[in-house]
Amino acid sequence: MTSIQGFSGLELPELILRAGADPIRIEASTADIDPCTGERFADIPAASPADVDAVVEAAHRAFRNPAWRDLHPLARERLLHRFADAIEADLPRIAALEALDTGKPISIVETLDIPTAISWLRAYAGWPGKLAGRAAPLSATPGAFHAYSRREPIGVVAAITPWNFPLVLAMWKIAPALAAGCTIVLKPAPETPLSALRLVELARAAGLPDGVLSVVTGDGATGAALAAHPRIAKVAFTGSTATGQAILAASVPSLKRVTLELGGKSPTILCKDADLATAIPQAAMGCFFNSGQICYAGTRLYVHRSIYDEVLDGIRTVGAAQRIGPSADRTSQLGPLISARQHEKVSGFVQRASDAGITALPAGGPIPDAGYYFAPTLLRDVPSDAEVMREEVFGPVLATAPFDEIEEAIALANDSAYGLAAHVFTRDLTTAHKASAALEAGTVFVNCILLADPAFPFGGMKMSGIGRENGSEVLDAYLEPKSVVMAL
């Protein structure tokens, strides 16, 4: 039992990695630091390439194990629901671990992060019996052949995930991979390994065979060893564009399948006919929620010139109403940034914007003295070539500019290397549909923000990624089609 400030009595998961049933000995470690205090509370094992190899080989054995491979679809579905039941029963503990690790407000982790992860597992639990191939008459030689296709699990999957939504983004990969019949090795971010370690304990308790879901902890070197391992058939990655590029390069020697969900600089267009009572709070929280640490946050706000000042005032009011505080405090609504490094990075962006003559306005606070807190900040009249208009800040910093015509706003919105999400606030249906078609983004939100659902695909155009997660589309990433052709 560890006594951790704010979470007294919270029991950490076993900080042990396993190759199938066997614990593996690991010499190196990384520090896990509470973002609310800056204090180290645990040492997390850092897996070497040899440790990674042992875990991947165990995952490969598990992939061939009839207890997993030959599980009939309904048995697989039931097993995934039992896994979801186990997480549900563990909700207070896994939520506390996630809140401690990320610094997010506990009330948000309990009501959003963990339930979201569970709902993804249940949504994909419904798929195993529905992953059918097809039979079709051949055009070339009618009547001479019977041909059909099968959809087979691709093999051992590596999931490499970031620290902003650790359990949710892991489950976006685990749920479809398991539904497809793959086995999976998850490497969480070194800042936030606890929910992943707890998750494998729950998977074992729910009866998933050894090696079907494993975790290796460590930093980028551990991730690189996993991403390059020849036994890995597919890598599912969420994180920075630079690391995504390194993972894609590492996939080349063994031609791994890769999906990348990367950064963004998602625009929000706020038209003069928008319902400001709902548009203003959403434009604010679309950037400030989770202290801006969201890949598809709306971080560039274009507002019709006639309402620019009114909207900016409104956003500052919304930001100021957010209570910023530690994760264990049930009244907190915004937490700190994840690390000293992220705090430096975000501060640097705002400092350089100010140095360049851009007006920075406070849009929230006060913030606690200790920890890596950063108050919501609004930047006004930001030129389109400014660094803060082009680069992902990953903090609660909203860059804004006025526009006159919708065509101009769409051109500004599309003037980005990224293409993850885009938002339009308008009550005009024509504007909504025309903008939705014209915006270069994987998801367009009309009069709403921050919605992901297992029902529809999520991912990026341009430098925001390759492939899609969620929807039925994600299953293609974990299945290999095979055609069977038989002479009659």
Write out the catalytic residue numbers. 261, 295
Which partner in ligand NAD, Mn ion, none is near 182 (CB below 5 to 8 A by kind)?
none
Task: Report the nearest approach of ligand NAD to the CB of residue 471 (Å).
Answer: 18
Closest to Mn ion by CB, 32 vs 51, is 32
Task: Report the nearest approach of ligand NAD to the CB of residue 301 (Å).
Answer: 18
Which partner in Mn ion, ligand NAD, none is near 101 (CB below 5 to 8 A by kind)?
Mn ion
Cα distances (Å, whole numbers) of residue 219 to 53, 185, 243: 16, 15, 12
Which of 12, 20, 26, 32 binds Mn ion (CB under 5 A)? It is 32
Strand partners, 32: 42
Q: What radius of gyration do the chain's Cα atoms show?
A: 23
Which of 35, 45, 211, 263 binds ligand NAD (CB under 6 A)? It is 263
Closest to ligand NAD by CB, 162 vs 326, is 162
Which partner in Mn ion, ligand NAD, none is near 32 (CB below 5 to 8 A by kind)?
Mn ion
Task: Report the nearest approach of Mn ion to the CB of residue 101 (Å).
Answer: 4
> Identity (one letter) of the amino acid at 37?
T
State the maximum Cα–Cα separation within the chain, in Å, rounded to a whole number: 78
Distance CA 56, CA 483 (A): 28
User: Using the rule CB under 6 A, is 44 a contact of ligand NAD?
Assistant: no
User: Using the rule CB under 5 A, is 98 a contact of Mn ion?
Assistant: no
Distance CA 389, CA 386 (A): 5
Residue nearest to ligand NAD (CB): 223
Q: What are phi and psi of 175, to 5 degrees?
A: -60, -55
User: Using the rule CB under 6 A, is 469 a contact of ligand NAD?
Assistant: no
Only one of the segments 58-66, 157-165, 251-259, 273-281 lies at the binding site for ligand NAD (rule: CB under 6 A); that segment is 157-165
Distance CA 252, CA 245 (A): 11
Which partner in ligand NAD, Mn ion, none is near 423 (CB below 5 to 8 A by kind)?
none
Only one of the segments 29-37, 58-66, 263-271, 327-335 lies at the binding site for Mn ion (rule: CB under 5 A); that segment is 29-37
User: Using the rule CB under 6 A, is 166 a contact of ligand NAD?
Assistant: no
DSSP-assigned letter for residue 291: G
Residues 219-238 that bind ligand NAD (CB under 6 A): 219-220, 223-224, 227, 238
Size of the residue set binding Mn ion (CB under 5 A): 4
CB 352 within 8 A of CB 387: yes
DSSP-assigned letter for residue 409: H
| H-helix segments, 356-404 | 387-390
User: Using the rule CB under 5 A, is 191 a contact of Mn ion?
Assistant: yes
User: Using the rule CB under 5 A, is 440 a contact of Mn ion?
Assistant: no
Distance CA 216, CA 1 (A): 23
Which partner in ligand NAD, Mn ion, none is near 196 (CB below 5 to 8 A by kind)?
none
Short-list 346, 350, 354, CA closest to 372? 346
Distance CA 116, CA 46 (A): 28
Q: Report angle CA 23, 24, 26 to the nearest 5 degrees.
A: 135
User: Using the rule CB under 6 A, is 262 a contact of ligand NAD?
Assistant: yes
Interface mask toward ligand NAD for 354-393; x: CB under 6 A: --------------------------------------x-
β-strand 266-270 against 213-215: which pairing, if any? unpaired
User: Using the rule CB under 5 A, is 101 a contact of Mn ion?
Assistant: yes
Q: Report angle CA 433, 436, 440 to the nearest 5 degrees.
A: 155
Distance CA 249, CA 48 (A): 20
Residues contributing to the site for Mn ion (CB under 5 A): 32, 101, 191-192
Interface contacts to ligand NAD, rule CB under 6 A? 160-164, 187, 189-190, 219-220, 223-224, 227, 238-240, 243, 246-247, 262-263, 295, 342, 345, 392, 394
